[in-house]
Amino acid sequence: MPSTHIAMPPSSPSLLDELAPTLAVVRTNCHISDARHATDYTLCIYLLKMREYYRWENDMPFSSSLPHEDLTD
């Protein structure tokens, strides 16, 4: 039986450089959207969402502990 696996080209630094402006715009739109819809959630849910958003912004896996010093003042 033939393989249905599709080979993906390895990502190159030039591709990431090309996508950087688009990623910046997406992040800006996420910040705007989060600010507009923040009142739709209870405080607890909002804080949980912001914790996961912090992970996404900093490329942190779910298995890692969050840096307490960076998140508290």
Q: Does 3 or 54 have the greater pLDDT score? A: 54
**DSSP element (H, E) containing 12:** none
Is residue 2 very low, low, confident or very high in pLDDT (cuts 50, 70, 90)?
Answer: very low
Task: Provide the token pair at 22.
Answer: 């688009």
Residues 6 or more apart whose CB falls under 8 angstroms from that of 71 comprise 54
CB 37 within 8 A of CB 18: no
Q: Is-above-0.85 flag for pTM?
A: no
The whole-number pLDDT of residue 26 equals 86
Helix (H, G, I), strand (E, B) or coil at 5: coil
Distances (CA, A) of 37 to 52, 54, 73: 16, 17, 25
pLDDT per residue as tens digits for the range 4-53:
555 555 555 687 788 888 888 888 887 787 777 767 778 788 888 888 88
